[in-house]
Amino acid sequence: MNAFDKNTSVVIDDAQLLADEAKYSSFGDTVHYVDPPKIFRTCEGSYMVDSAGTPFLDLQMWYSAVNFGYGNKRLNNVLKNQIDLLPQVASQYLHQSRIELAKTVALDAKRKFGLDGRVHFNVGGAQAIEDSLKIVRNARNGKSLMFAFEGGYHGRTLGASSITSSYRYRRRFGHFGERAMFLPFPYPFRRPKGMTAEEYSDSCVNQFARLFETEYNGVWDPKTNQCEYAAFYVEPIQGTGGYVIPPPGFFKGLKKVLDQYGILMVSDEIQMGFWRTGKLWSIENFGVTPDIVVFGKALTNGLNPLSGLWAREELINPTVFPPGSTHSTFNSNPLGTSLGLEVIKMGYELDYETSVPKKGAHFLDGLRELQKKHKEIGDVDGLGLALRAEICTDDGFTPNKALLDRMVDIGLAGDLTHNGKKIGLVLDVGGWYKNVITFAPSLDITHEEIDLAMSLLDQLLTKAKKG
């Protein structure tokens, strides 16, 4: 059976559901991208299906939380088996998959980074960011100021909001006295005129390094050799910021400065982890060793809330970070940890390190062909199956949010066609100007589905440009 054959009979019709949602639901915990909001009924593989039975090719897979496809049978079966074995246990007790998963991640990090470390669990990406902030502040004697990037996104809890660059996430919630210092992230497509991408990358590193030249540059006390800031929070590839991919040498230059001044590097892998870029962690693509790695989302393929972090032994061992330093009733729950363990086993067994770059190259080739046909596609780029297409005016550079908004609406209307049948397209919007399609398809997407995606994007752009 595939997604198109599933029973999509409606128990409560869409109109009633939307009326009830408008009256009884908080809008504060969701985002209404389209009016009216879209309701889906079933999903499988790379597709979701609406109440009319129309399939929608999903090219964002729940913000990269469902890397391994909807209804992945292998992962679903792990969840079903765990329900019958040990469905829940209080977090003050231990169980096998919790310990196995921690060991698996730690040994993987040891092999790649050459460092001993430990794994710490929570239930959501922002919560894991909060835990990492505690580890950093504890390790740096209570220093609470952090560096982060312009365009960066780390979550919407109070602590995570303080290191997320967008003011709109903080605006209504009072003063953030511990707001991060935000530094430029090298954005190759929008680099200053006259600079190569590499020169721009170097200038961003040099701008950061300049903060330490003298005490009057603001963050460094040369008499005590102490920095006012404890850590630098990085997304190796900016997620909500528009899947911006820095030049290859950027993080090596940045890490050299961080190491020189004793500043920790925290790699936020919540969106880019679990082979999205062809590596388990996206930071692996850039040849540097982080001090902390934060992960979530695709750890359980979206089937159960679980997140976590890996940190170097000296930052997280029980002497310096003892029991009770953080807590969640549901952390390291057995449904999630059994899924996470299987995700990592499956990823290596199926060799996503080989297949993802190949599929990503095919996807990027398709985007480049579309770019030749539509001058409104100003930039395309990708690393593995994290890809971007920047939608512009016909000058190929000026951001065109309105055109992309129309594309999203048309895609979710389900009025595109394939083989004479209706089909829809699910896209995600990101970028500094909200004009970037951020592509995060299933890692199991087929080459045929990638070709279909290009055909649908071509239809979509053509319709949207007609207004």
Tell me the CA distances in angstroms from 427 to 56, 305, 363, one per residue in order.
10, 23, 15
Residue 398 is part of which domain span? Answer: 14-60+352-465
- β-pairing, 292-295 with 264-268? parallel
Asked, for residue 292, whether it belongs to a domain, the answer is yes
CA-to-CA separations, 175 to 129, 137, 162, 269, in angstroms, rounded: 20, 20, 10, 28
Q: Tens of pLDDT along the chain (467 residues)? A: 344 455 555 589 999 999 999 999 999 887 787 888 999 999 999 999 999 999 999 999 999 999 999 999 999 999 999 999 999 999 889 999 999 999 999 999 999 999 999 999 999 999 999 999 999 999 999 999 999 999 999 999 999 999 999 989 899 998 888 999 999 999 999 999 999 999 999 999 999 999 999 999 989 999 999 999 999 999 999 999 999 999 999 999 999 999 999 999 999 999 999 999 999 999 999 999 999 999 999 999 999 999 999 999 999 999 999 999 999 999 999 999 999 999 999 999 999 999 999 999 999 999 999 999 999 999 999 999 999 999 999 999 999 999 999 999 999 999 999 999 999 999 999 999 999 999 999 999 999 999 999 999 999 999 999 98
Q: Is there a single domain that holds both residue 155 and residue 138?
A: yes
Answer yes or no: do 383 and 331 share one domain: no
Closest by CA to 294, choosing from 274, 313, 277, 278, is: 274
Q: Are residues 320 and 372 in the same domain?
A: no
On whether residue 162 sits in a domain, the answer given is: yes
Same domain for 332 and 399? no
Per-residue burial over 375-406, b if 16 or more Cβ lie within 10 Å, else e, is ebbbbbbbbbbbbbbbbbeeeeeebbeebbbb
Domain final residue pick, 330, 349, 368? 349
174 φψ region: left (φ > 0), alpha (ψ -120 to 50), beta (else): left
* Those residues with Cβ within 8 angstroms of residue 443's Cβ, 6 or more apart along the chain or in another chain: 67, 68, 69, 275, 276, 352, 355, 356, 359, 385
- Confirm whether 2 is domain-assigned: no
Residues 51 and 125 in one domain: no
Number of domains forming the structure of the chain: 2
So what's the pLDDT on residue 7?
A: 58
**CATH of residue 431:** 3.90.1150.10
- Whether residue 390 is contained in a domain is answered as yes
User: Do 277 and 145 share a structural domain?
Assistant: yes
Domain boundary among 323, 349, 375: 349
Q: Which residue has the tokens 């993080």?
A: 251
Q: Are 426 and 339 in the same domain?
A: no
Encoded tokens for 372: 């030749």
The verdict on 327 and 410 lying in the same domain is no
Q: Is residue 69 part of a domain?
A: no
